């Protein structure tokens, strides 16, 4: 544990990383050095999990194969119906619908895609399957046998991965969208049927000239998510 004074500066650094992080949807083609990738995965590997089960499973592509995988996914996205291992939400009630609307508005606004521009929205959606031109993509899955709590562990890992990346100056976009086509992913990457495919992660270095990278999202004050319960005194 750092001393109280050191903890202050560590926490200020972490706070800055948290506030400056954002999803990147336009990457430069340059691959990251292998030792940087290894550093990133070894930092995220420190993630805690239920009974230390460490259930996250990742398949990465070499940069040359990232393009082939992307082409196969784009082809699937154009003709196949989404069939994710875990159902995507179909309906968003409030306040989730409003959060989602704001997130889409920020992205499409930055890209200059109008609300009624169906072709523009379709092209923007297909960019998911191009991994936003990232040189690296990892597909994230988990063992089925551990049950649903393992998804929580993988979520914790994903957060650790994102913050490790942020501290190393690596840009990231999580991609639940690619989990819509598990058959393509299984076929090309030899992902066993016993693993549930959760999402992809595109990573590399942001292209500062891509308009989508100017999109920023906001958060509600934590009081929207956290409440303090008062227990009945006679309860």
Ligand X SMILES: Cc1cc2nc3c(=O)[nH]c(=O)nc-3n(C[C@H](O)[C@H](O)[C@H](O)COP(=O)(O)O)c2cc1C
Chain residue at closest Cβ approach to ligand X: 177
For the four alpha carbons of 224, 174, 217 and 103, in that order, the dihedral sign comes to: negative
161, 58 contact by CB (below 8 A): no
23, 167 contact by CB (below 8 A): no
Site for ligand X in 90-109 (CB under 6 A): 103
* 176 sits near ligand X (criterion: CB under 6 A): yes
- Closest contact distance (angstroms) between CB of 197 and ligand X is 12
* 199 sits near ligand X (criterion: CB under 6 A): yes
40, 73, 76, 173: which one binds ligand X (CB under 6 A): 173
- Closest contact distance (angstroms) between CB of 20 and ligand X is 10
Nearer to ligand X, 74 or 103 (CB): 103
Question: d(Cα 69, Cα 172) in Å, to the nearest integer?
Answer: 18
- Beta-bridged to residue 57, according to DSSP, are 141
- Closest contact distance (angstroms) between CB of 53 and ligand X is 20
Coil, helix or strand for 233? coil
Please work out the total of residues on this chain that contact ligand X, with binding judged by CB under 6 A.
12
Strands of 169-219 (E only): list them: 171-175, 195-204
* 164 sits near ligand X (criterion: CB under 6 A): no
111, 174, 196, 210: which one binds ligand X (CB under 6 A): 174
How many other C-beta atoms are found inside a 10 Å radius of the C-beta of residue 211? 14
Query: Tokens 């598990």, residue?
Result: 182
- What is the binding site for ligand X (CB under 6 A)? 22-23, 25, 103, 128, 173-177, 199, 217
């Amino acid at each position: 544990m750092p001393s109280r004074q050191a903890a202050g500066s560590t926490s200020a650094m972490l706070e800055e990383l948290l506030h400056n992080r954002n999803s990147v949807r336009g990457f430069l083609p340059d691959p990251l050095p292998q030792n940087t990738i290894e550093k990133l995965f070894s930092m995220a590997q420190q993630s805690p999990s239920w009974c230390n089960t460490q259930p996250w499973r990742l398949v990465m592509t070499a940069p040359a194969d990232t393009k082939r995988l992307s082409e196969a996914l784009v082809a699937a996205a154009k003709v196949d119906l989404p069939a994710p291992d875990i159902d995507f939400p179909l309906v968003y009630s409030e306040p989730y619908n409003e959060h989602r609307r704001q997130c889409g508005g920020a992205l499409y606004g930055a890209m200059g895609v109008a609300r009624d521009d169906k072709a523009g929205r379709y092209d923007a959606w297909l960019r998911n399957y191009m991994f936003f031109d990232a040189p690296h993509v990892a597909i994230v899955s988990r063992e089925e046998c551990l049950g649903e709590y393992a998804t929580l562990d993988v979520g914790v890992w994903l957060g650790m991965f994102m913050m490790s990346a942020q501290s190393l100056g690596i840009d990231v976009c999580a991609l639940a969208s690619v989990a819509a086509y598990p058959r393509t992913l299984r076929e090309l990457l030899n992902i066993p049927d016993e693993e549930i495919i959760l999402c992809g992660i595109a990573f590399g270095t942001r292209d500062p000239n891509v308009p989508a990278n100017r999109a920023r999202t906001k958060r509600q004050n934590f009081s929207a998510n956290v409440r303090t319960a008062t227990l009945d005194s006679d309860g």
